[in-house]
A and B are shown apart, each in its own frame.
Chain A
Amino acid sequence: MTVSLAEQRAQAVAQRDAEARNGRTQVLVGAATCGQAAGALGTMAAFEAAQANRGLALTVRKAGCFGPCYLEPLVLVRKPGAPAVLYGNVRQHAVHGIVERWIQGDDPCADLAVGVLDEAFGGAAGARLDGIPPLSAHPMLGGPRLVLRNCGLIDPADFGHYLARDGYVGFERALRLAPQDVIDAVRVAGLRGRGGAGFPTATKWQICRDQPPGPRYLICNADEGDPGAFMNRSLIEGDPHALLEGMLIAGYALGVAQGLIYIRAEYPLAVRRLKAAIEQLREAGLLGPRIQGSDFSFELQIREGAGAFVCGEETALIASIEGERGMPRPKPPFPAVAGLWGRPTIINNVETLATVPLVLRVGGEAYAAFGSERSKGTKTFALAGKVKHTGLIEVPLGTSLRRIVFDVGGGILDDRAVKAVQTGGPSGGCVPASLLDTPVDYEALVSAGTIMGSGGLIVMDEDSCMVDVAQFFLSFTEKESCGKCPPCRVGTKQMLTILERITAGQGRLDDLERLEAIAVTVQTGSLCGLGQSAPSPVLTTLRYFRDEYLAHIVEHRCPAGVCPALVTYEVNDLCNGCSLCARMCPVDAITGERGKPYVIDDKACIRCGACADACNYDAIVVH
């Protein structure tokens, strides 16, 4: 006997309210993979130890990531009778202070606080604490939070937490509509694929919907293979039910009875969260035959990717699920017509699907009010590289790259100059500082030579060598090329060889034309997106940073001081002979006498930079 969704939600709300009144302080530790990398599990253990040793009434739980990863570990403390406060950089030793001063005392630890949970985050209206700004005043948390609305605020392992925040309301609405009306709502919302290409989601769904009856499939592509992208990981780890609700709605709209989630095996925590969430769905009567008394039956399976970037491409992903080598197939037929096992198949990105519940809940028009003319809604970005605020952000489409880097991202580390912003990973390109006013909008980014991509956004400063960056991406695509199309298999290899020659200082002037010529062949002669876009990082850097290529070729110089063959490390007269560099050098290339300047043996030096990292006196210089 299944209890109705509305009843389950009412119970979840009642339980949440009871917890808020039970007199216990609730501690939510951001323990997504990023939080754990920053030491969140130690933080959690410290809270638990404080609870045991001091007999405190604490409830300590894990949450997902709020977004500002640079402040991790992040901890949300909800003390009875006081506004909830988010604290940053809460390493083990900081826990003691929060416990003594705030949980047991009445000093809210303004020095550690990121902000007070205000109305935008479900806090009480007008919630304020002296000396602590409201959370939505933080540059990374000021935008509309649509897709990320639950991330960091709920325990992702607790189904009730999701339900109590209007969870599965979108699905309930969908069940009351005809499937075609659901597709129409998505069309009105103007939702476009968040995996990168920006194809209108409703158009894709319509093609599948209009196929003759018979089995069909829905696949969520969670094979977030772009290096430098972690939006999907963060979303699944922080709010797995948002994705599952989106899949239920899509399944209903498309007439699909079988959904699959294809997720990277490199994301073990996200996989665990999804598996647990699927079990919760089953217990709640939201999976299986005739869900909630309707005619809609749906099943979900998880498939772990086995580590092949090309499987982010739809047809290669399908081949992988069919137990084959993940090699792409010619299109047409498009998967919406003939995909998995030859049946109509819709493949949507995690963020696309996680947006769908929202569209159903607030309505297509309300969603379309966000964003720009051609690109509606919001988009999450993984902001990383040489920027002060690294982490996961959500901004309305149409926001300029400059605003993302300097307002949301807080500017460049050490206040150096920005050189470029890379979007779209190995399939995208580098937008130079002069074009930072470009809005993040599917078409505008394409005119700048790059793509929206799935949301990786890497900021580069004057210490980044653009030829090295191009080589980095090419070495990635060369390795990941599946080998089916010779232009991609051979072309990426040849382009990489030329780039390696240039970064080694042995480039020739005609190499630049040769790179451009091979790039065109690879773009036009490859079957799938991997090959078609593999030359983009080279082409955009050639377009905007040709002078850097020329410096490597003509002057045998790497202006950024990155390419090992073109730089030397030297000790200058700031050296006070502390010997730290000599102890850090992995190849014992640094010698000297304590108290006197040390010397680097250039022949033995492997240019690893360990000495420069270690030196406290700026005494190591790179030429």
Chain B
Amino acid sequence: MDGDGIEHILVRFPQHDRGFLIPILQEVQEHYGFLDPERVDEVAAFTGASASEVFGVASFYAQFRFTRPGRHQVKVCLGTACHVRGGTRILVLLQRQLKIKDGETTPGGAFSLERVACFGCCALAPVVVVDKDVHGRITSTKARNLLRRYGGS
């Protein structure tokens, strides 16, 4: 899908309306996985802001990425309940297993690892979300086996 324009997204929004900047960026990222500089330029032109303003807004919010994520996104919850029930250990285990730090992507592009402040599944802490699947009550053993389901070793 790379390389094609983002008109198909822009047509659904009014032009030069700053109030739709964040929704547009969200749709662009949803479609392409991340925000690359050319697409940011297009969004800037469409909304009537400068590219630096758009970058300024996008970089403020944790949701926006500027590099391509892995094919599977592993998100470790580090909310309060997950913290007191050992979420940090799970993060450390996954870091070791994937040999990357949070915020990074494995060299082959298979997995990226993120920490998230809270998914709101505190009652089933600790929680790990892979792509759209929520996994609760994660133990060290479960964390080890988790990545295998997504083609990891």
- Let me know if A34 and B124 touch, CB within 8 A: yes
Pick the residue among A303, A390, A606 that contacts B122 (CB under 8 A).
Answer: A390
Would you give the 0/1 interface string for B130-145, flagging 1 where the beta carbon is closer than 8 Å to chain A? 0011111101110010
Would you give the 0/1 interface string for A607-618, flagging 1 where the beta carbon is closer than 8 Å to chain B? 011100110000
* B100 contacts A by Cβ under 8 Å: no
Q: Which of A153-161, A189-197, A239-247, A317-325 contacts B (4 or more CB under 8 A)?
A: A317-325
Q: Which residues of A contact B61 (CB under 8 A)?
A: 306-308, 326
In the complex, what distance in Å separates the CA atom of A72 from the CA atom of B123? 10
Instruction: Mark out the residues of chain A between 283 and 324 whose CB falls within 8 Å of any chain B CB in the assembled complex.
Output: 303-304, 306-309, 320-324
A612 (CB) vs chain B CBs: closest residue: B140
- Let me know if B62 and A476 touch, CB within 8 A: no
In the complex, what distance in Å separates the CA atom of A390 from the CA atom of B80? 13
In the complex, what distance in Å separates the CA atom of A613 from the CA atom of B87? 13
* B15 contacts A by Cβ under 8 Å: no
Pick the residue among B64, B89, B117 that contacts A309 (CB under 8 A).
Answer: B117
Q: Which of A78-86, A220-228, A368-376 contacts B (4 or more CB under 8 A)?
A: A220-228
Number of interface residues, chain A, beta carbon within 8 A: 64
CB-CB under 8 A for A458 and B96, given A33-B120, A33-B134 = no
* Closest beta carbon of chain B to A54's beta carbon, Å: 28
- Let me know if B64 and A464 touch, CB within 8 A: no
* A391 contacts B by Cβ under 8 Å: yes
CB-CB under 8 A for A37 and B96, given A307-B61, A422-B80 = no
Instruction: Mark out the residues of chain A between 236 and 293 whose CB falls within 8 Å of any chain B CB in the assembled complex.
Output: 265-268
In the complex, what distance in Å separates the CA atom of A505 from the CA atom of B20? 49
A321 (CB) vs chain B CBs: closest residue: B19
Q: Which of B1-9, B21-29, B66-74, B104-112 contacts A (4 or more CB under 8 A)?
A: B21-29
CB-CB under 8 A for A472 and B89, given A70-B123, A304-B26 = no
Indicate the member of B92, B123, B139 with the most A CB atoms within 10 Å. Answer: B123
* A216 contacts B by Cβ under 8 Å: no
- Let me know if B96 and A587 touch, CB within 8 A: yes
Q: Which residues of B contact A322 (CB under 8 A)?
A: 18-19
CB-CB under 8 A for A385 and B84, given A36-B134, A308-B61 = yes
* Closest beta carbon of chain B to A10's beta carbon, Å: 36
* Closest beta carbon of chain A to B77's beta carbon, Å: 8
Indicate the member of A33, A425, A464 with the most B CB atoms within 10 Å. Answer: A33
* Closest beta carbon of chain A to B152's beta carbon, Å: 14
- Let me know if B96 and A383 touch, CB within 8 A: no
Would you give the 0/1 interface string for B45-77, flagging 1 where the beta carbon is closer than 8 Å to chain A? 001010000001100111110000000000000
A65 (CB) vs chain B CBs: closest residue: B123
CB-CB under 8 A for A34 and B141, given A266-B116, A323-B18 = no
In the complex, what distance in Å separates the CA atom of A587 from the CA atom of B93? 9
Indicate the member of B57, B62, B84, B89 with the most A CB atoms within 10 Å. Answer: B84
- Let me know if A34 and B136 touch, CB within 8 A: yes
Instruction: Mark out the residues of chain A between 474 and 489 whose CB falls within 8 Å of any chain B CB in the assembled complex.
Output: 476, 480, 482
* Closest beta carbon of chain B to A495's beta carbon, Å: 18
**B interface with A by C-beta (< 8 Å):** 18-23, 25-26, 47, 49, 56-57, 60-64, 78-81, 83-86, 89, 92-93, 96-97, 116-125, 127, 132-137, 139-141, 144
Apart from the given pairs A228-B118, A323-B57, 13 other A-B contacts in the complex at a CB distance below 8 Å: A37-B135, A227-B117, A229-B122, A230-B122, A306-B26, A384-B81, A458-B81, A458-B122, A460-B84, A469-B84, A482-B60, A586-B92, A610-B140
**A interface with B by C-beta (< 8 Å):** 33-34, 36-38, 69-70, 72, 224-230, 233-234, 265-268, 303-304, 306-309, 320-326, 341, 382-386, 390-392, 422, 425, 456, 458, 460, 464, 469, 472-473, 476, 480, 482, 584, 586-587, 606, 608-610, 613-614
